[in-house]
Amino acid sequence: MTYKNILNTTLITMTPTQEDGLEPPHIVVLDGGFSTQLSCHVGHVIDGDPLWSARFLHTHPNEVVNTHLDFLRAGAHLIITNTYQASVGGFVEHLDMTPEQSYDLIMRAVDLAKQARTLYLEEYEDYIQNDLIPLVVGAVGPYGAHLHDGSEYDGSYADTTSVQTMREWHRPRIQALVEAGVDLLALETIPCQEEAEMLCDLLREYPNIKAWLSFSCKDNQSIAHGECFQKVAKKCWEANPEQLVAVGVNCCAPSSVSNLLKGINDDRPHAPIPLIVYPSSGEKYNPQIGWIDRDKCEPVEVFIQEWLDLGVRYVGGCCRTYAADVSRIRNQVHCWRDRWRFQHRYQANTSPQN
């Protein structure tokens, strides 16, 4: 079997299907907060930079590779490229690059992730044969991220920016990621309905690629711009079910997740929408002093089994979650699958037919 076929098989296997029988559904473990883990490798302040961690694609490529490796060693089934805040225009403005060089740097991010995957497979070649080959997922952050004003957390730019402007900004970065050979796209931290719908439509220009779509939310009911999360999520899923593998939320407080998701599939019992969740630690960011209130946050892993009970099938972490958190998340996934198996076999053995 060729490496490409192995990857295709991996993607199929990692896509949750109808859950019948006595085997628990497959759960995909994502990585954690890239800039958070990257900070363990570089002696630089990352938060507050207009390019955020994407600057390190240019200045510290080896550390980018090592950050991806951390997550793979921690048990992530996939790694997300360091391109959340990468854009052609951003690199032109802040790295003094040409548009061509900027495009190439986005592609370079995919190469760095692939390098990490290769190193991981070589390092664990005696153990990887019966496991899944990790996927490389291209991070596609929202239009608001490049504005460097926090508007990806309120979606206010949707009131003043045309859908066409957002489309033309997204297209080259998506093109670069696809051209570089990502296995999947992460359309993430999307704060507004218009941008989400546009991305689902833009995805059709790349018919051979699949993606997940995750929203930035302001509370336990609404996405950041104010629209109802469940209504928007369902509408986007129905707009492109052929290419979307999951919808959900990221970079929100873990305590908000369950209320956002409860009941979303009540009207789809036989064809539930696969759900994805990768929240932040719950800490708050103060521009003057940095991240605060960690001591007031419950660890992400304490919520995992509850989310899986609600139908989440892709789970990981976002800002302020480290590789160690990914290991704890994966452990909770294993515990949940063991519990699922025990409960379903017990029910089968005690049913009236038996």
> Which residue numbers belong to the known binding site?
251, 318-319
On the 0-12 / 13-18 / 19+ scale of CB atoms within 10 A, 250 is buried
End-to-end CA distance of the chain: 43
Burial class (CB in 10 A: 0-12, 13-18, 19+), 201: middle
DSSP calls for 30-65: ----HHHHHTTT-SS--TT-TTGGGGHHHH-HHHHH
Residue 313's contacts (CB-CB under 8 Å, 6 or more residues apart) are 16, 25, 26, 27, 28, 246, 274, 275, 276
Q: Which DSSP string do the residues of 188-247 spell out, in sequence order? A: EEE--HHHHHHHHHHGGGSTT--EEEEE-BSSSSBBTTSSBHHHHHHHHHHH-TTTEEEE
Structure tokens belonging to residue 274: 């696969």
Residue 191 CA to residue 230 CA, distance in Å, equals 13
Q: What's the CA gap between 86 and 210, in Å, rounded? A: 20
Q: What residue has token string 């991010």?
A: 109
Q: Which residue, 238, 100, 266, is CA-closest to 172?
A: 100
| Binding site as annotated, residues for Zn(2+) | 251, 318-319
Rounded distance, CA 342 to CA 24, Å? 10
SS3 assignment, position 222:
strand
